[in-house]
Chain A
Amino acid sequence: MAFLIRTIDFTAAGREIVRDRTLDQTRLTVGRAAENDIHLPDLAVEQHHIGIDLTAGDTLAVRALGTLGFGLDGRVVTEATIDPQTGGEIALGAARLAVARENDGNIVITIRQVAPDEGKTDALRGFALASKLPGKRTMSWIFAVAIILLLLALPVASHLLRTPAKPDPTGKTPGAVLMDSAWSSGELSLKHHSLENNCESCHVAAFESVQDETCLSCHKDIGDHAKKPRLAKGMPPLSEGDALQWKIAEGFGKEGPLGCVACHSEHEGPVRTQAGSEAFCSDCHKDLKTRLTDTQLTAAHDFGKTHPQFRPVYFASFGAAKPVRAAAGSTPVERSGLVLPHDVHMNPRGGAARMAVSLAQYRSPLECKDCHAATADKVSFKPVEMEQACEACHSLVSGRTPGGALSKLRHGSVKNLAEDLARISTGPRPRLAPGRQRPGQLSSASPYHADFGRPVRAYIGISNALSVGGVCTECHLPTRGPTGQADLMPVNFPDRFLTSGYFSHAAHTKQKCTDCHAAETSKLASDLLMPDLKSCRTCHLGATAVKTAKIVPSDCAMCHAYHVPSGQWQGLKPAKPSMPHYKPPPEPAKKSTVAAKLAQVTP
């Protein structure tokens, strides 16, 4: 067993010089001193640095002779064992001693010098993740520029350069601003959903909040809750946070807490705009008088606890031009001009009921709906029409037409009535005896006829009809016209009785009419059969009430709207207060059938 020491050097020109020598011994020393077996002239190497011993197990035991260790396969150690079969590399200064076994069994130690590794620091950079990823700075720039360009610069630029799109509630006009949908903080409410693609229809100018003027360009019919100065005066003071926000916001052109958008906040999702809560109303109305001292409105904040008594609108005197509102808590005496005892009609065993049973039209005692028909919205009732509601019993039949049909007096106008009564005396009448004719008389087929009598009977007729006990006064009150002639009181009813609230009869179909309207016991037409607060409160309590089978928690918005008088009810302004409800029916159309002609000519 011998060590083959192979030294590899390089000439200045780079040519490799290989020198081999064989040391036939089992121990080698390596160091800077010349007496070492392997002499390494390198200041980094100790005089006697390491010893290499061939052990019995055919391995090499390498040991540092001083305190300084040596490199073995890149690791610094002071003692190591090398299996020559696998080999190893000892590093001493700039020298590398590669140990390996030759095929002949000898152990070769190849010594070569390595150049100082100049690229090592660069190589160490490979450990950092940065070597494998795009730089943070690059990525930052890319993200930031993409976001600013796409989500800010593009919408702003297209907004500044656009031709403004018109607001179009049908939603057919898209907005002209690009990418501004990315600015939308949420979907619009259901009613505004068609404007989803046209932001400019509301957001007209840059950095300007949505203006009332813009809202009103579509919502032309909206009514003010009250005039703005009064609203401002009636409002409770804002909280400090709100006050500060509004102060700042108004400084930037927002329209203050009374502007549309203060309440109607948009982009809250595709929902219906919620009505204001009870607190929204009661904030002002619970103590309105403390701020708005001249208001006639009494305090209200919870329907079950604090709510003024209803004040229905009614006609307080016969033929009045305008209805009045009842004083709170008073018992109104209505002067409608009609004579109508409800109890007589409602009594299931009374004469009216008996008569109704006998009539094919009813076949049962009268019910409310026989006379009163609800309007389509089920809020109010249509005017009662004499022809439909009353005439089955209160007949105006005056005789028979020549054709045999029943003729009747026209209802609705005294003038028409007078004409009809006069016609009774002048119209063609049935001949006394058939087929007999004096010579020289005109043919019976001729339409000619004459009544040469005085018209006094007609005057008597109309006078009788209009005076007490006459046919008209069954329902109407007699009076005298401007010239003293007999006349009837005009019939006056307001369109609605409770004008400040909304009441749906459709929502109350489980109730009987008489649960709320005391018609069964009302003896006089002057009774105003409007229910009072107490009767409503049997079911309806304030919003905070606990819902049960009977109790309905009711907030203000159940009956009241904010933007009156734009809603269904018209405040205190009935459309035509002085006009009677009943219009004369239209003139019967001229009959043109053959049968009608024959009826006309037959005396």
Chain B
Amino acid sequence: MASTARNRFQQQERRRDSDHVGFLQHRGYRWLWFALLLSGAAIAGYALIDQEPRPNGGTWYGYTLGTIGFGVILWLSLLGVRKRRINPGAWSLKAWTSAHVYLGLALIVIGTLHTGFQIGWNVHTLAYVLMLLVIATGIYGVIVYATLPQSLSANRKEMTRAQMLDALTALDRQLESAAQPLARAESDLVIAALGQDVFYGGALARLTGSYPGCKTAQALRGMGRATEAETRVVALLEKRREQLAQIRGALRIRALLEIWLFIHIPLTIALIAALTAHVISVFYYW
């Protein structure tokens, strides 16, 4: 009985521990060590095995590295499938993600050695470059996932996204009534500011946080401070600008968090296409 209780305790402890361990540290960096071992073995083989007439993707060692690389790339791309299948077990999504990151990094070594450092304007180098871009965006993704959520949380100031939008709506209603005494030109400024979509701006604006066409900012610049009504509108416009800044801050962090996937995923599919062309062409013109 005692042992059963202890077992259950240990089991629960393990689960609790593992629940609070990130995918990078998963199981004492198991996949980091595996990736280092794989890369080290690939480098050692490259250095020690004499390839005649020169290292090349077409030697037996080159084919070996190429096959390993091809298999790893296909497996890594299956993370998208795996994460949509919710299933428990030792082969957890966290383990899978951990392996995805570290094996992906090991691909830099394996892929580069497979090229034999022969680079050119061809489908083979296209596949290699795509692979490097996918890995680079992946590295970026890991870094931003580790760092940016804190700033996202800090930016929210205990507000949900819905509350941020609500706050803007509240300000807008006040602005509308406060702007009633304004003259035509000033009224138009307020109309433009209220009419502009809160999510105005393209992907680049979101990433940089620069919105040169912001109507609220324009209204603030154009609004006079002469009358009491104008002062009130200006105060409200400033509040609106601050609220927009908070929303845009959230948008920027979120864009920085998400942008890499918009490159990572399409380039992965492009990479698989290029790999297919690479493998078939090599044996088509053997």
Give the CA-CA distance A208 to B282 in the complex, in Å.
Answer: 11
**Known contacts A89-B173, A180-B285; A131 and B124 CB within 8 A of each other:** no
Q: Say whether A263 contacts B53, CB under 8 Å.
A: yes
Contacts of A561 in B (CB 8 A): none
Contacts of B235 in A (CB 8 A): 85-86
Q: Say whether B159 contacts A74, CB under 8 Å.
A: yes
Contacts of B228 in A (CB 8 A): 103
Q: Say whether B273 contacts A136, CB under 8 Å.
A: no
Q: Say whether B167 contacts A183, CB under 8 Å.
A: no
- A510 is an interface residue with CB less than 8 A from chain B: no
Give the CA-CA distance A241 to B277 in the complex, in Å.
Answer: 26
Q: Say whether A148 contacts B159, CB under 8 Å.
A: no
Contacts of A207 in B (CB 8 A): 283-284, 286
Contacts of A85 in B (CB 8 A): 231-232, 235
Q: Which one, A91, A159, A182, A206, contacts B123 given CB within 8 A?
A: A182
- B60 is an interface residue with CB less than 8 A from chain A: yes
Look across to chain B and name the residue whose beta carbon is closest to the beta carbon of A83.
B235
Q: Say whether A241 contacts B198, CB under 8 Å.
A: no
Q: Say whether B203 contacts A128, CB under 8 Å.
A: no
Chain A interface category by residue count? 35 or more
- A124 is an interface residue with CB less than 8 A from chain B: yes
- A452 is an interface residue with CB less than 8 A from chain B: no
Contacts of A110 in B (CB 8 A): 177
Which A110-152 residues sit within 8 Å CB-CB of chain B? 110, 120, 123-124, 126-133, 136, 139-145, 147-148, 151-152
* B66 vs chain A, min Cβ distance (A): 12
Q: Say whether B53 contacts A86, CB under 8 Å.
A: no
Give the CA-CA distance A199 to B177 in the complex, in Å.
Answer: 76
Q: Which one, A87, A156, A183, contacts B178 given CB within 8 A?
A: A87
Q: Say whether B274 contacts A98, CB under 8 Å.
A: no
Give the CA-CA distance A181 to B280 in the complex, in Å.
Answer: 14
Contacts of B268 in A (CB 8 A): 140
Q: Say whether A87 contacts B277, CB under 8 Å.
A: no
Q: Say whether B239 contacts A241, CB under 8 Å.
A: no
- B202 is an interface residue with CB less than 8 A from chain A: yes
Give the CA-CA distance A156 to B267 in the complex, in Å.
Answer: 23
Q: Say whether B265 contacts A136, CB under 8 Å.
A: yes
Give the CA-CA distance A469 to B261 in the complex, in Å.
Answer: 104
Q: Say whether B273 contacts A144, CB under 8 Å.
A: yes
Give the CA-CA distance A183 to B143 in the complex, in Å.
Answer: 36
- A221 is an interface residue with CB less than 8 A from chain B: no
Contacts of A543 in B (CB 8 A): none
Give the CA-CA distance A252 to B284 in the complex, in Å.
Answer: 12
Q: Which one, A89, A136, A244, A265, contacts B266 given CB within 8 A?
A: A136
Q: Say whether A265 contacts B174, CB under 8 Å.
A: no
- B91 is an interface residue with CB less than 8 A from chain A: no
Most A CB within 10 A of own CB, among B61, B168, B178, B284: B284
**Known contacts A133-B262, A140-B270, A144-B270; A184 and B199 CB within 8 A of each other:** no
Give the CA-CA distance A91 to B173 in the complex, in Å.
Answer: 12
* B152 vs chain A, min Cβ distance (A): 11
Contacts of B273 in A (CB 8 A): 143-145, 147-148
- B151 is an interface residue with CB less than 8 A from chain A: no
Give the CA-CA distance A400 to B112 in the complex, in Å.
Answer: 86
Which A283-325 residues sit within 8 Å CB-CB of chain B? none
Contacts of B254 in A (CB 8 A): 127-129
Q: Say whether B269 contacts A98, CB under 8 Å.
A: no
Most B CB within 10 A of own CB, among A152, A180, A244: A152
Which B164-218 residues sit within 8 Å CB-CB of chain A? 164-171, 173-174, 177-178, 198-199, 201-203, 206
Q: Say whether A74 contacts B267, CB under 8 Å.
A: no
- A268 is an interface residue with CB less than 8 A from chain B: yes
**Known contacts A129-B255, A245-B60; A124 and B161 CB within 8 A of each other:** yes
Q: Say whether A268 contacts B250, CB under 8 Å.
A: no
**Known contacts A86-B236, A124-B162, A183-B285; A140 and B49 CB within 8 A of each other:** no
Q: Say whether A133 contacts B177, CB under 8 Å.
A: no
Give the CA-CA distance A119 to B250 in the complex, in Å.
Answer: 20
Q: Say whether B170 contacts A209, CB under 8 Å.
A: no
- B57 is an interface residue with CB less than 8 A from chain A: yes
Q: Which one, B167, B232, B269, contacts A73 given CB within 8 A?
A: B167
Contact string against A for B residues 32-72, beta-carbon threshold 8 Å, 1 for contact and 0 otherwise: 00000000000000000100111011111101100000000
Q: Say whether A88 contacts B159, CB under 8 Å.
A: no
Which B234-286 residues sit within 8 Å CB-CB of chain A? 235-236, 239, 243, 250-251, 254-255, 258-259, 261-262, 265-270, 272-274, 276-277, 280-286
Q: Say whether A98 contacts B177, CB under 8 Å.
A: yes
- A351 is an interface residue with CB less than 8 A from chain B: no
Look across to chain B and name the residue whose beta carbon is closest to the beta carbon of A243.
B60
Q: Say whether B60 contacts A241, CB under 8 Å.
A: yes
Give the CA-CA distance A124 to B250 in the complex, in Å.
Answer: 12
- A186 is an interface residue with CB less than 8 A from chain B: yes
* B199 vs chain A, min Cβ distance (A): 4
**Known contacts A73-B167, A75-B163, A136-B262; A265 and B232 CB within 8 A of each other:** no
Q: Which one, A142, A159, A185, contacts B122 given CB within 8 A?
A: A185
Q: Say whether A140 contacts B53, CB under 8 Å.
A: no
Give the CA-CA distance A156 to B283 in the complex, in Å.
Answer: 12
Contacts of B49 in A (CB 8 A): 241
9 new A-B contacts, CB < 8 A, other than A124-B165, A142-B266, A143-B267, are A71-B166, A74-B164, A98-B173, A127-B199, A127-B254, A130-B258, A148-B276, A182-B123, A252-B286
Sorted nearest first, the 6 A-B pairs with minimum C-beta distance are: A74-B167, A143-B270, A140-B269, A245-B60, A139-B266, A126-B199
Q: Give me the interface of B with A, judged by CB distance under 8 Å.
A: 49, 52-54, 56-61, 63-64, 118, 120-124, 126, 159, 161-171, 173-174, 177-178, 198-199, 201-203, 206, 228, 231-232, 235-236, 239, 243, 250-251, 254-255, 258-259, 261-262, 265-270, 272-274, 276-277, 280-286
A/B interface sample: 10 pairs, CB < 8 A:
A85-B232, A127-B250, A129-B203, A143-B270, A148-B276, A151-B277, A183-B285, A209-B286, A265-B53, A280-B52
